[in-house]
Amino acid sequence: RPAALAAAAGRPRRQPGPGRGPSAGSAVDRLFAELAACGTLAFAHRVRLLVAHRVVDPAGRAAAEAAVAAVDEDRAELRLSVKERDDFFTTFFVSTWSPYVAKAAARIGLGPTAVTMISVAFAVAAAVLFGVGGRPALVAGAVLLYLGFVLDCVDGQLARYTRHFSAWGGWLDTMADRAKEYLVYAGLGYGATHAGFRYGWALAIAAMTLQTVRHMTDTWYGVLHDEAARRPRPATGDAGGIGGKLNAASTKVQADTGSVSYWLKRTVVFPIGERWALIALTAALFGPLVALCVVLVWGTLAFAYTGALRTLRARWMRVPVLTTVDATLHRDDGPLARTLPVSRGPLALAVFGALGAAVLLVAALRTVHADGRLPGWAVPVGLLVLLAGGFGARAAHAGPLDWLVPAALRAGEYLFAIAVGVAGRAPAWLIFGYVFVLTLHHYDLTARLEKRQAAPPLHAATLGWDGRSVVLAVASIAGIASIALATLGTYLLVVFVASVVLAWVVLPARARRTPVPVGGGDRSPG
């Protein structure tokens, strides 16, 4: 980081200690030592394809220069633009030719953001074709979905190849990936319904909800794993326990690159490449209904598999990851949750609330299927159970499994909103649209978490999971659930767009216009 380099350059050179000799090594060694002294987190990367030598004499320098001259730098950089480790489908069916697309894009002047937007257009077109139905449209949609995924890989490869990185590009790529996938679910849901299946939209809503909750656990487990690598594990005497054994086995499999177990481990978790490939194949061959069913079945099995193993490993690692961030922000608490009495066990409370919302949804589905109506007390009671998660808002999130709290809260809010929509006879597409807007808001938070960025500028205006649920419950009691879903969803979308414009356009422009004081900074008295 520039700030760390500046701090290292400004530090007074330390005198050699006993046994260190007259010199602390080369300039690179001294710089690294000073960066470490500044507290900078450093990572070691294996040098691939390019040449790196440390020379100490003229002969070594000549040999190094010859080795460097022998490298086709452009070809090496193009190959290095591909991730060293990726999933099976991406590695063998995309990355074998996508770098040439990245090079062509660079030659005609396309940037990573432009490629991302083209990828979105391909996915939207695929969603429309899946909704239209008919074998030619389904096959064309499958081809466009595959090409859209190729471009989704190309934008990152292009950024690495041209070295055009930006926080905006990373954020946009994360948000576009999720939006594209869920728009495809919408196309499949519409197509299944249009083909005569009554619950096509319901399957699309279920697939989106499941995938979002899965992503929440993926994100927080990744943060937990990174945090565990930075600190020693507490001595608990269970080094040989099942969690430790699973951790050792996972590390061994990951190190055995290219083996059957390595690819099986990377495939069974149902990553995005495999999801898009499966959607394209099943939609083209069997139609939207089968595509949604297969995504739900494999997604559920993958969620159960990863959830069980990660829970065991997290109990062994014992890293209170939510204590390292603003827990209130990433829980997405509103004013109500922040004023409730403090209670211990935030995970148990969040899971209890989510289970209550699930029970309410099942009851709503059963009454609608029987052409009946929920009792008037059902939604208020469901809301009270859901709000139990708010009692843990200000509690310490220091438990080994508290990294699951955000996912549990997301599940509770989504299930409650779906239940209110079902009970109020809201159109299925409207329920899908409302949950889709919620996912945009929550993916914005996770994208910021990965970069350790501040809260969105208008985060307070989103009301929090508790505030939004109260609004929907009141609307359900008043008999205007559809109006509430449409109005609140539109409001949240407007807030999201305004927040994006503020965060990435207005505030950076204002910061660039603000003059930096000459000679500013801390000064010692002279």
Q: Tell me the whole-structure pTM to 2 decimals.
A: 0.87
Q: Who wins on pLDDT, 22 or 131?
A: 131
Say how far apart CA 199 and CA 263 lie, in whole Å: 35
Q: Are 181 and 278 within 8 A, CB to CB?
A: no
Say how far apart CA 259 and CA 266 lie, in whole Å: 11
Q: Indicate the helix (H) or strand (E) that contains 375.
A: none
Say how far apart CA 276 and CA 294 lie, in whole Å: 12
Say how far apart CA 180 and CA 122 lie, in whole Å: 9
Say how far apart CA 385 and CA 362 lie, in whole Å: 15
Say how far apart CA 127 and CA 125 lie, in whole Å: 5
The domain 324-510 is placed in CATH, from the list 1.10.10, 1.20.1440, 1.20.120, 1.10.260, at 1.20.120
Residue identified by tokens 């951790």 is 247
In this prediction, residue 520 has a pLDDT band, given cuts at 50, 70 and 90, of very low
Cβ neighbours, 10 Å, residue 341? 8
CA atoms within 13 A on the CB side of 432: 23
Q: Who wins on pLDDT, 445 or 14?
A: 445
User: Tens digit of pLDDT for each residue in 196-252?
Assistant: 999 999 999 999 999 999 999 999 998 888 888 777 655 554 555 787 777 778 878
The region that residue 288 occupies, defined by phi over 0 for left and psi between -120 and 50 for alpha, beta otherwise, is alpha
Say how far apart CA 408 and CA 391 lie, in whole Å: 14
Say how far apart CA 12 and CA 260 lie, in whole Å: 53
In this prediction, residue 42 has a pLDDT band, given cuts at 50, 70 and 90, of low
Instruction: Mean pLDDT check: name the lowest of 60-64, 280-284, 474-478.
Output: 60-64
User: Tens digit of pLDDT for each residue in 165-197?
Assistant: 888 888 899 899 999 999 999 999 999 999 999
Average pLDDT, the chain: 87
| Cα dihedral across residues 150, 151, 156, 158: positive or negative | positive
Q: Are 398 and 344 within 8 A, CB to CB?
A: no
Q: What is the pLDDT of residue 68?
A: 81
Q: What is the pLDDT of residue 23?
A: 45
What are the tokens at 323?
Answer: 């204590």
Q: What is the pLDDT of residue 71?
A: 80
Q: Is 199 exposed, middle or buried (0-12, 13-18, 19+ CB in 10 A)?
A: middle
Task: Give the rounded percent of residues in the chain with a pLDDT score beyond 90.
Answer: 61
Q: What is the DSSP string of 178-230?
A: HHHHHHHHHHHHHHHHHTT-TTHHHHHHHHHHHHHHHHHHHHHHHHHHHHHHH
Residue 345: partners with Cβ closer than 8 Å, 6 or more residues away: 392, 395, 399
Instruction: Mean pLDDT check: name the lowest of 146-160, 331-345, 503-517.
Output: 503-517
Dihedral pair phi/psi, residue 514, rounded to 5°: -75, 120
Q: What is the pLDDT of residue 21?
A: 44
Fold of 81-319: Four Helix Bundle (Hemerythrin (Met), subunit A) (1.20.120)
The distance of Cα 360 from the centroid of its chain, to the nearest Å, equals 28
Say how far apart CA 518 and CA 522 lie, in whole Å: 12
Instruction: Mean pLDDT check: name the lowest of 178-182, 397-401, 428-432, 481-485.
Output: 397-401
Angle at which helices 272-286 and 135-162 cross, to 10° = 160
The region that residue 425 occupies, defined by phi over 0 for left and psi between -120 and 50 for alpha, beta otherwise, is left
Over residues 147-171, the mean pLDDT reads: 91
Q: What is the pLDDT of residue 526?
A: 34
What are the tokens at 195?
Answer: 């083909």
Residue 371: partners with Cβ closer than 8 Å, 6 or more residues away: none
Q: What is the pLDDT of residue 3?
A: 54
Say how far apart CA 96 and CA 32 lie, in whole Å: 36
What are the tokens at 117?
Answer: 């937007």
| Cα dihedral across residues 463, 467, 469, 474: positive or negative | negative
What are the tokens at 52?
Answer: 């790196």
Q: Who wins on pLDDT, 477 or 68?
A: 477
Say how far apart CA 19 and CA 29 lie, in whole Å: 17
Q: Are 162 and 155 within 8 A, CB to CB?
A: no
3-state DSSP of 419-454: HHHHHCCCCHHHHHHHHHHHHHHHHHHHHHHHHCCC
Cβ neighbours, 10 Å, residue 43? 4
Say how far apart CA 178 and CA 464 lie, in whole Å: 21
Q: What is the pLDDT of residue 255?
A: 75
Q: Are 269 and 289 within 8 A, CB to CB?
A: no
Numbered ranges of CATH 1.20.120.1760 in the chain:
81-319
Q: Who wins on pLDDT, 338 or 60?
A: 338
Say how far apart CA 459 and CA 442 lie, in whole Å: 11
Q: Are 78 and 102 within 8 A, CB to CB?
A: yes
